[in-house]
Amino acid sequence: MQLDHDRIYQLLEQAKNSTQKQCEAAVCRAENGEALDYLDIALLLEITEPELLARIYRVAGNIKKKIYGNRVVLFAPLYVSNHCVNNCVYCGFQHCNEMPRRRLTREEIQQEVRALERMGHKRLALEAGEDPVNCDIQYILNALDAIYDTKLDNGSIRRVNVNIAATTVEEYRMLHEKGIGTYILFQETYHKPTYEAMHPHCRKSNYDYHLTAFDRAMEAGIEDVGAGVLFGLYDPKFEVLGLMMHNAHLEERFGVGFHTISMPRLKQAEGMSLKDFPHLVDDETFKHLVAILRIAVPYTGIIMSTRESAQMRDEVLRYGVSQISAGSNTEIGGYHQEEAPHEAIPGQFQLSDERRPLEVIKTLIENGYIPSYCTACYRQGRTGDRFMQLAKSGTIQNTCTPNALMTLLEYMLDYGDPELSEMGGHLLENELNKIENPNVQRIVRRNIERMRAGERDLFL
């Protein structure tokens, strides 16, 4: 994998010097559902005219509705260690920061998981700093065992996505054998000079090794990989084209590109100042980026974390975001700390949306969405190119919406309150009546009765 910087510069310059007619033509191609090339995407990135922007948002919203319906997947991050040997200048965990360093023991991990299960979570993203001594691959594997082994009443974690540093084929194979979901790694920035400036004198300094991590992960058998950049480190237009070229490389080599793309935006963290970053992304640009990514990669999940405000997250759900975190805590041991207060270890970055899952779920329902904790595709082998084939054919709808409804009912029965029961009950009945396949509708209604009788974890 080599990223052609000169080609990206040329595309951006060509788009910058484009005419209104050329930009309108790119929007028309998006509206017609045509496959977009890199120049089309660069042209969409240049658009600032309000009418054309409105059309872009409308296209993105229609694409999301067609492919994802009104489902929104929920998850939470779990930070197990802040030991880190890197000096990433934007990160609160950077090695030069003087702060208490800690990694959770097995029992502490299980305390965190039980706290997350009490919130109703079923899927987690395991997060850790890079430290080959204090947080090696065996520690991560043991952490996965601790998570999957922890059950509380009806609570269980059914899928753990893993966001750890770039590593070897052998270690990715170990992760795959543990049954992880998606392997997530942010390139941070695709602009090599900026990447090297952001990661001075540390293990993460090797741009090419980091860039080819997904190749090694997929060679090891991991079928779903999740990418992302930290918007604010460099020109966001360059970053979007970098993401698209990386995605195309994986599609060409492995037959499937990114399963997810995360949309973190640079936020204040320990030991850094936002004044030192000249490429910060404002709100309007950020919404524009979300919409263009949804248009460019229609079948890829787009993730928005609690770095963003509740208002921003609620808005970009309309333009393409399909997964959000809820009730997040980036402190080491932070979830248990909320229940039994003790001295906190600072988190990786500042949170902006501090709503608890119950509140997030109610807001989603009020806005016409189905909150989903579904993990069925992963456990049924609908991953990698098999998932994409189902998604592109539209047949994935036969399972995703029913499974979302069943996980919502699980949450209502185990963690809801009377208000949610009323809201969710109306939503369930309305959505059940929309299921066109009578066999699917019959199965879901039967499963709902079984769940009301005490059974759990039923899915198609």
Say if 374 falls within a structural domain.
Answer: no
Give the CATH number, domain containing residue 319.
3.20.20.70
On whether residue 102 sits in a domain, the answer given is yes
pLDDT tens-digit map of 212-230: 999 999 999 999 999 999 9
Considering the domain architecture, whether residues 327 and 436 belong to the same structural domain is answered as no
* Domain shared by 88 and 52, yes or no: no
Based on the fold, state whether residues 291 and 417 are members of the same structural domain.
no
Residues 6+ apart with CB under 8 A from 41: 240, 241, 244, 292, 296
Question: Residue 196: pLDDT above 90?
Answer: yes
Which residues partner with 231 through β-bridges? 265
Q: What is the dihedral of CA 422, 427, 430, 433, to 10 degrees?
A: -110
Q: Per residue in 17-57, pLDDT tens?
A: 999 999 999 999 999 999 999 999 999 999 999 999 999 99
Q: Confidence band (pLDDT; 50, 70, 90) for 173?
A: very high
Phi and psi at residue 293, in whole multiples of 5°?
A: -65, -40
Whether 308 maps to a domain, the answer reads yes
Q: Which of 305, 337, 355 lies at the terminal end of a domain, its last residue? A: 355
Answer whether 76's CB lies under 8 Å from 121's CB: yes
Whether residue 76 is found in the same domain as residue 218 = yes
Residue 395 predicted with pLDDT over 60? yes
Which pLDDT score is estimated for 397? 78
What is d(CA 339, CA 112) in angstroms, rounded to the nearest whole number? Answer: 10
Statement to judge: residues 27 and 41 lie in one domain: yes
Place of tokens 């919502």: 408
Same-domain status, 61 and 78? no
Which residues span the domain enclosing 32?
5-65
What's residue 400's pLDDT? 93
Give residue 348's pLDDT.
60
pLDDT tens digits for range 420-445: 999 999 999 999 999 989 999 999 99
Question: Scanning the structure block, which residue is given the tokens 């980091």?
Answer: 210
Give the rounded distance of the alpha carbon of 372 from its chain centre: 14
Is residue 364 domain-resident? Answer: no
Quick one: 159 and 265 in the same domain?
yes
d(CA 9, CA 243): 14
**380 lies in some domain:** no
Q: Give pLDDT, residue 40.
A: 98
If you average pLDDT over every residue of the chain, what do you get?
94
Element (H, E) at 227: strand 225-228
Residues 345 and 403 occupy one common structural domain? no
Whether 149 is covered by a domain: the verdict is yes
Identify the pLDDT of residue 338: 74
Is residue 350 scored above 70 in pLDDT?
no
Give the pLDDT of residue 224.
97
Say if residue 343's pLDDT is above 70.
no
Give the C-alpha separation, 219 to 3, whole Å: 20
pTM: 0.95
Could you tell me if 334 and 265 lie in one domain?
A: yes
Question: Which of 265, 227, 270 has the alpha carbon at shortest distance from 249?
Answer: 227
**CA distances (Å), origin 153, targets 102, 120, 245, 415:** 29, 11, 45, 11
